[in-house]
Amino acid sequence: MMSPGVAKVKRLFDSSPLLYRTAFGLATFNLDYCEQRLHRGRYPSRFGGLWTDRVDFEDQLRRRLNRGEVAEDQLRSLSSWREQGFLKLDNAVDHRLIDDYLDELETLKARSPSPLYVTSSTLEAPAPFSAEVFAGNSSSRIVDDYFYSESARRLLFHPSITDYLSLFLASEPVLTQSLSFETGSEQAVHQDTAFVRMNAPMKFIGVWIALEDIQPGTGELVYYPGSHLWPDFLFSRYFKHYDSDRDGEAQLHNWLAWIHEQARERSQPLSSFFPKKGDVLLWHPALAHGGAPINNDSGTRRSLVGHYCAKGARPLYHYYKPAQRKGYGRQGCTYTSAYYPPVSAR
Ligand SMILES: O=C(O)CCC(=O)C(=O)O
């Protein structure tokens, strides 16, 4: 929930996108993003991007190879990431780490009261975890459990993942959000730039860790390869991120339909991700992806998702919930959370 003062100021701007844009740009100023906007021609998107998106990618790559920032054995992954907008890492994390995490999660859920929060498509606001809340809502997920769970941090900061995050972000990654799923999300195909809101809107990465072998029909992750290169969809003429008060439901529906139209125009079929336990997928902030419908009611689809921004960028919740600005952890393993510690517990 937004702090009341911020909500009051924001309401003044919701009806005027131009004013909103000016105030938003000033309030969430980020020097690196400002530079990206000034050199707009360097990226396919007017909202900038990662260095791997740059139109002069080959020059950038040569420089980084010369400086020893990129190794020869990363070249294939880099070019697949640049062209497809995702990278699969087979067998990236140990089964033992996953089992430790699932055990610790059960312990945190069983605490009375549990410190964890749940969000869902049918809950108006994040709710404290209880088995009833979790099971009684659609698309339930536990958020940011890394705040309490050391084994979640061990997974989300596993070197096989952070090595690639650091390579693509060209900086240390900062974990800003996680979602722990037991079943498929059935979330419509979307681009995270709309919902995972940052002050550098194209400078973050999503990571999906398979906590078990994923079976067809359990709501597997689906995505449109190459969709990170599609043109920008603009909310209220100016924005990459969606704001329900400013943009309304109709724009959200238009955008979701636009995604499938873009794919149809390019004859781009939807791909499905059927990982084995321990496999990982990294995806670009503009890659269109979602959760397939669940056809197999008996099956779980356990996964842990992380969203990370580049060091120096910030999630927008640092502005609309200033009490959640604090960073935690140590170098190479830093995180922040929109939920914890809850303001009521301070
Ligand atoms: O795992 C899923 O079903 C969807 C996850 C997702 O869309 C996200 O975290 O951005």
Angstrom distances, CA of residue 181 to CA of 29, 46, 114, 171, 299? 33, 33, 17, 28, 12
Q: How far, in Å, is the centroid of ligand 1 from the Cα of 121?
A: 12
Return the residue whose CA atom lies nearest to atom 3 of ligand 1.
Answer: 291
CA-to-CA distance for 243 and 296, rounded, in angstroms?
34
Our CA angle for 49, 310, 271, nearest 5°, is: 60
Q: How far, in Å, is the centroid of ligand 1 from the Cα of 119?
A: 13
pLDDT at 51: 97
pLDDT mean by block of 10 residues, the chain; 346 residues: 72 80 86 90 96 97 96 96 98 98 98 97 95 95 98 98 97 98 96 97 98 96 98 96 95 98 98 98 98 88 98 95 94 95 75
What is the position in ligand 1's atom list of the atom closest to the CA of 307? Answer: 9
Domains of the chain, CATH where assigned:
4-341 (2.60.120.620)
pLDDT at 346: 63
Q: How far, in Å, is the centroid of ligand 1 from the Cα of 229?
A: 19
pLDDT at 42: 96
pLDDT at 23: 81
Pocket of ligand 1 (CB under 6 A): 179, 181, 184-185, 187, 192, 206, 221, 289-291, 303, 305
What values do phi and psi take at 63, rounded to 5?
-60, -45
pLDDT at 1: 62
Return the residue whose CA atom lies nearest to atom 7 of ligand 1.
Answer: 290
Return the residue whose CA atom lies nearest to atom 6 of ligand 1.
Answer: 290
pLDDT at 288: 98
Our CA angle for 314, 318, 321, nearest 5°, is: 165
Return the residue whose CA atom lies nearest to atom 10 of ligand 1.
Answer: 192
